[in-house]
Structure 1
C-alpha cells in the first residue's frame, strides 16, 4: 500500500471545507498549491513506494495515481527546500511562494496528524520577505466616475451601479458581496449582513448613495433580470436571472474601469483597498477600519496606514513649493 498523496490531498481539502468551514474559493486555492507540489514530486521522481495505509484503508491506490514521499526527515526537508528554490528560480512572486508555504505547512500538518508522515518538512522553511508593494487605491474622483458610469435606464446598468456602490460603500470582499441575499440588506438602517472568511458573520455599512442605488435596483432592475425564473434570493443577478459569481463581478469592474479610466487595472479588491484608505484619510481609527474589513489581526489592516502616508507624501511633493 503506497503513501498516496493525491488521495490524502482530497481528504485534506474535504476537511478544510467541512470541518474547518473554509470558503470554497479558499479551499480551491489550497488544492491548487498542493497540486503544484505533487506535480513537482512527479517530476523529480519522489515516489519511493513506502508502506503506509491508504486513506480509505482498502489497500492499494489505483495504479498510476500514487505519489509517495521519502520517509527520512532529512530527505523530505531537502525536497521541500528544493521545491521552494525551484519556484523562485522560475520567477514565482514572493507572495505566491509565501502562500504556497502556508498551504503546504497546513497539508503536511494534516498528514502528521493522520500518521502518514513523521514530521512536517515545511515547518522550518521561512517564506521570502515580500517586497513593499502597496495596494492600488483609487482617487475620489476616479471612484465617482466609475460609480456614475453604468446606464440607469437599463436593468443591467441599475445592477452595475448598485454593485459598484456596494463594493465601495461596504468595503466587503467580492465573495461576500455575491453571497448577499435580499434578506441580508437593511436599507432603512443602512447596513448589510455578510458571511466572511471562516463562516464569520459581520455587519457592513451601506452609505446613502449605496442605499439609493440598491433600492432602485431592487424595485426596477432585479425583477426584470429575474423574469419568471425561480427566485433564490440573491441580490445581484445575471441577465439570465442567475446569481453573479466572483468572475462576473471582476468582469463588470474591469469593463467599467476600462471605459472611464482607460487601461488602469482595477479589480473588485481595489474598491476594498480604496474603502479602507479613504476612511483613514478621513480620520477613522485603525481599530474601526479593522472591524469594518473583518480582519482577524490588526497587522493586516496596518498596510493601509502606509498607503495613507504614501498618499500624503505624494500630495506634499506635488503641492509644496520647496518639496
Structure 2
C-alpha cells in the first residue's frame, strides 16, 4: 500500500476515534507527509511499513540543519510517533521504528533562528532617513525573502534581478546557478534602493554591476553585512547571536513550519542533496512562486 493510503487511514483514525480538532488532525498529517517527502528526496523508494529508525533520524538531522526550532522538531517527532503507534495498533507493523526516537529538549533553542515578530522588529528598526537605510532594508528583505547566502547577496548583480517574473538569478556554491522567487515586499524595497539611492552614487570602476554598494560606490563586503545586522540586533535589544545566515535559516524554517514542500525549500536554498544520494529535482517557476505566496510570512 502507498503512503497516501496509510495517511488517509491515519487521518480518519484521528478524526473519528480520537476526535481531534481539524487543525490538530492536519498538523499530525503534515508531520507524516514531511517524512514521506524527505524519503522521496533522499532516493529511498520505500513505503511507510519499511521505514527504519535511521530514516527518521536522518529527517530530524536535516530539519535541524535547516535551523528549525526545537519546538517544531518536537512537533514533527510527536506526529510521526503517533502515526507509527497507530500502525502498530492496527497490526500493520510489529515494531515501531520511532519507539527509540527522542524529541529535542525544548529548553535547547537554536540561537540563529528568528521568529516573524523578531524579523519585523529588526526591519522596522532600520533608519530609512539615512543614506544607508533603504539599502540595508532592501538587503535584509532580500535575505529573508529568498533565503540567500551572504556571499550570494554581496555578489548579486543588477541583471540577475528579474523584475518581470519576480525572481533572482543566483550564483551559488560551485558557481552553480538557480532561480529563486523574491517576494513583492522585498522587490519593492530593492527597486526603491536601486532607483532612488544607488543611482546617485559615484560607482567605482569594476563595481557597476553589483546591486549592493557602500558609500564609496564599491561592492559591499561580507563583514559589512554582519556588522549591519549585529548593530540592528543591539538597537532593538535582541538577546540572540545572529548573522546573515540567521535570515536564511529563518526563511527555510518559516516555510517548512507553514507546510511548504521540503523539495521546494531544498531547491530555493540551493541544496543539491539532503543526503549523500545527490538527488536533485528541479521544480518549475510557477510552483516555487506559489510556495512563497502561500507559506512565506512576508509574501
TM-score by length of 2: 0.53
What per-residue deviation string (whole Å, max 9, x for no partner) do you get for residues 218-259 of structure 1?
A: 0111123x2264452100001111100111111111111211
Is the contact between residue 154 and residue 221 of structure 1 (CA under 8 Å) also seen in structure 2?
A: no
Q: Name the SS for the 1:159 alignment partner.
A: helix
Could you tell me which of 256, 261, 267 is aligned with 1:285?
A: 261
Alignment of 1:107-146 (within 5 A): 134=110, 136-146=112-122
Asked whether 1:240 is paired with 2:208, we answer no
SS of the aligned residue for 1:269 comes to: helix
Q: Distance in 2 between the 1:216 and 1:261 partners?
A: 28
Alignment-derived partner of residue 250 in structure 2: 274
Residue matched to 1:169: 145
1:265 and 1:135 map into 2 onto residues whose CA distance is 6
| Residue of structure 2 aligned with 1:227, choices 192, 202, 208 | 202
- Provide closer, same or farther for how the CA distance between residues 193 and 228 of structure 1 changes in structure 2, counting only shifts above 3 A: closer
Contact 2:111 2:242 in 1 (8 A): no
What are the Cα deviations for residues 259-301 of structure 1, in whole angstroms up to 9, with x where unaligned? 124342110000000000000011101111100101111249x
Q: 1:180 to 1:189 in 2, by over 3 A?
A: same
Q: Superposition pairs for residues 29-48 of structure 1, below 5 Å?
A: none
| Contact in 2 for aligned 1:162/1:213 (Cα 8 Å) | yes
Instruction: Tell me which stretches of 4 or more aligned residues in structure 1 moved more than 4 Å.
Output: 132-135
Residue of structure 1 equivalent to 2:105? none
Partner of 1:264: 240
Matched, 1:254 2:230: yes
Higher RCO (C-alpha under 8 Å, 6+ residues apart): 2
> 1:70 maps to which residue?
none
Any unmatched runs of 5+ in structure 2? 1-107, 277-299
SS across alignment from 1:295: coil
Provide the rounded CA distance (Å) in 1 between the counterparts of 2:258 and 2:203. Answer: 45
**Residue aligned with 2:178, SS:** strand
Q: How many matched pairs?
A: 169
Matched, 1:207 2:178: no
* Distance change in 2, residues 1:283/1:228 (3 Å): closer
Alignment partner, residue 197 of structure 1: 173
1:64-75 matched pairs, under 5 angstroms:
none
Following superposition, the deviation at residue 188 of structure 1 comes to 2.8
Which blocks of at least 5 consecutive residues in structure 1 are unaligned?
A: 1-131, 301-323
Name the residue aligned to 1:35: none
Q: Is the 8 A contact 1:174 1:268 kept in 2?
A: yes
Q: Does the 8 Å CA contact 1:250/1:267 hold for their aligned counterparts? A: yes
Q: TM-score, normalised by structure 1?
A: 0.49
Contact 1:190 1:207 survives alignment (8 Å): yes
* C-alpha RMSD of the superposition: 2.1
Give the superposition deviation at 1:153. Answer: 2.3
Contact between 2:158 and 2:210, CA under 8 Å: does it hold in 1? yes
Q: 2:123 aligns with which of 136, 147, 152?
A: 147
Change (3 A) 1:229 1:200: closer
Match of 2:135 in 1: 159
Give the Cα–Cα distance (whole angstroms) in 2 for the partners of residues 147 and 197 of structure 1. 28
Note if 1:179 corresponds to 2:125: no
- In structure 2, C-alpha distance between the alignment counterparts of 1:188 and 1:170, rounded to whole Å: 16
Task: Report if the CA contact (8 A) 1:142-1:261 is conserved.
Answer: no
Could you tell me how far apart the structure 1 residues matched to 2:161 and 2:111 are?
A: 29
Tell me, in whole angstroms, the C-alpha distance in 1 between the residues paired with 2:230 and 2:111: 17
